[in-house]
Chains A and B, each alone.
Chain A
Amino acid sequence: MTAIAAKGLTKRYGDLTAVDALDLTVAAGEFVGVLGPNGAGKTTLLEMLEGLRKPDAGEVSVLGEPAWPRNRALQPRIGVQLQASAFFERLTAREQIHTFAALYRAPGSAADEWLERVGLVAKADTRVEDLSGGQAQRLSIACALVHDPELVFLDEPTAALDPQARRNLWDLLADINDSGRTVVLTTHHMDEAETLCDRVAIVDHGRLLQHDTPAALVAAHAGGGNLEDVFLALTGREYRA
């Protein structure tokens, strides 16, 4: 089964074509990393896949249903982590995840379970403003997963994490994927993509440059290097926005 099927996806902002006739297919249960320099169009691509933005051209179907217009039947099946700051002000970690659970009509027990899975039981009564960057990141991932979605979008989930937190999060993400969920994440960490992802989609200037397994990409482009060498070979070394 196909989790995501995007065809000819295009989005323009004025003169800028953020996403340019992009085709992308993600199989159910697959773990896909979307890589690209800043300004490559990753976020716009994800927003169209999530149903937040209307494509100017092309079409997306997610879990067999059109992603646009906002599809109420689809939303409970998708989990999205946008940014570690997307929280209700002045709520504790526990109140936060219970609120999200209620929004998705998920049981409160699931909220407590997820708090435990991301190691935040000790911080349950801490307000989100007082959590460290890594704790907030883990909480926002737990909030994205509390309703047991089939498909999960994670936007740079390991940004601002220390190595300990990053490795623990890798285990968590691998677990999520092993339990049959489809995971799409964006990242700047090539080692992360190499370790976690079944396939990587390298995006630049709104186009899909490559979409293959890390091993195949390294074999074809790196000339004895790693995924980062592939990435730089494909997207160049100039500074980006």
Chain B
Amino acid sequence: MRAFAHTPFGALSIAILRGFVRDRAALFFAVVFPLMFLVLFGALLSNQDQSEIDMITVGDVPLLEDLPADAREAFETTFEVEESDDLDAALAEVRDGDADVVVEQKGDTLVAHYTQTEQVKAAITQSTLKAYVDGANIAASGQPARFGFAAERVEDESLTTIQFFTPGLLGWAIATSAALGAAATLQGWRQTKLLRRLQLAPVSTGTVVGARVAVTIAIALGQTAIFLGLGAATLGLKLTGSWWMSIPLVVVGTLCFMAIGLLAGAIAKSTEGAVNMANFFVLPMAFLSGSFFPLDATPPWLQRVSDVLPLKHLNEGMLDVLVRGQGPSAALVPLTILAAFAVVVTLLAARLFRWDTA
């Protein structure tokens, strides 16, 4: 370690890394901010199941009391039941929003009173109760049921909320810190003339660029480890088989977004301008690339637009290998596209590159 710190490459890398970890704002936006989104989205959207429906039964309701065992189990997870003898008081509770539905049985007819303000709960209540009545009718007819019905949830095989958002938010986090870091470093070093000073030192441009790239990749892999680690430990994230292919994706994605940051840094006239420009490239791209919401639900033209954005390919690749259980080869196309972007944008940035502000 000490020997490494005494080589030009090692000393530069350590200097850059120290500059990053001591920059509270950069650290916040690279790690804490995206994690806040992850926790927020996880908390807001993970419990997509409806909360229990508050039901008040008035008087005897034999139809519900004599449910078969399997139906009773489903009934109890759907409804929170309270018993009452006073119909008017119960109706008042529904009207005030304290309860969702009042159920009474008049002879052989089950009557449900509900309001339209809770439409989803009202619909669930109606269809559930109607199913019990149908079931009771079949039982009363003495005939065996001819048609069967089986429900299978697809969420487990597709993606739950946390599964979907982790790769996309991670992609956004990596893109942001790579682009902003590169833009700020290039402009900052140019403003302070450090770039000139380094040009005068016996180190090659390759060593300087290499150190910056190495640190950015190390930061991106750190972000990945924190994201996936925290996601798996606390938010129920389940990684699939070839998750390790996310490592080359992160590396190549970092190079791609560093190039975008270098381009911003080459065009802009000040450090703030460079950072803003990098954000201007990355933040809208994050929206259009499915970092914050699934693209499946968006109009086709938007999906075509997203196809030309590198972040979309990073996100798709990450989704495929991290949570969709696809094989390692699923990452190859995104890797190729990202690498091509990186090369083209780097060449463009290199053409616009200047050593100093003059």
Report the minimal beta-carbon distance from A126 to chain B, rounded to whole angstroms. Answer: 13
Q: What band does the interface of chain B fall in when counting residues whose beta carbon is under 8 Å from A?
A: 20 to 34
Contact B201 A87 (CB under 8 A): no
**With A and B bound together, what is the CA distance between A82 and B190 in angstroms?**
12
B166-187 vs A, Cβ < 8 Å mask (1 yes, 0 no)? 0000000000000000000000
Contact B202 A82 (CB under 8 A): no
Contact A52 B196 (CB under 8 A): yes
Interface centre among B199, B201, B202 (most CB of A within 10 A): B202
Q: A98-B11, A102-B6, A103-B8 are in contact. Are A86 and B194 (CB under 8 A)?
A: yes
**With A and B bound together, what is the CA distance between A133 and B65 in angstroms?**
85
Q: Which residue of B lies closest to A143 (CB)?
A: B197
A70 at the interface (CB under 8 A from B): yes
**With A and B bound together, what is the CA distance between A105 and B207 in angstroms?**
14
Q: Find chain A residues with CB under 8 A from B193 CB.
A: 82-83, 85-86
Q: Find chain B residues with CB under 8 A from A88 CB.
A: 15-16, 18-19, 194
Q: Find chain B residues with CB under 8 A from A8 CB.
A: none
Interface centre among A51, A90, A108 (most CB of B within 10 A): A90
Report the minimal beta-carbon distance from A85 to chain B, rounded to whole angstroms. Answer: 4
Q: What band does the interface of chain A fall in when counting residues whose beta carbon is under 8 Å from B?
A: 20 to 34
Contact with A89, one of B188, B196, B199 (Cβ below 8 angstroms): B188
Q: Find chain A residues with CB under 8 A from B194 CB.
A: 86-88
Q: Find chain A residues with CB under 8 A from B203 CB.
A: 103
Q: Find chain B residues with CB under 8 A from A101 CB.
A: 11
Contact with B200, one of A80, A89, A99, A102 (Cβ below 8 angstroms): A80
Q: Find chain B residues with CB under 8 A from A25 CB.
A: none
Q: Find chain B residues with CB under 8 A from A76 CB.
A: 202
Q: Find chain B residues with CB under 8 A from A99 CB.
A: 11-12, 14-15
**With A and B bound together, what is the CA distance between A130 and B22 in angstroms?**
14
Top 7 A-B residue pairs of the complex, sorted by shortest distance between their CB atoms = A102-B11, A75-B202, A90-B22, A86-B197, A86-B193, A85-B192, A88-B15
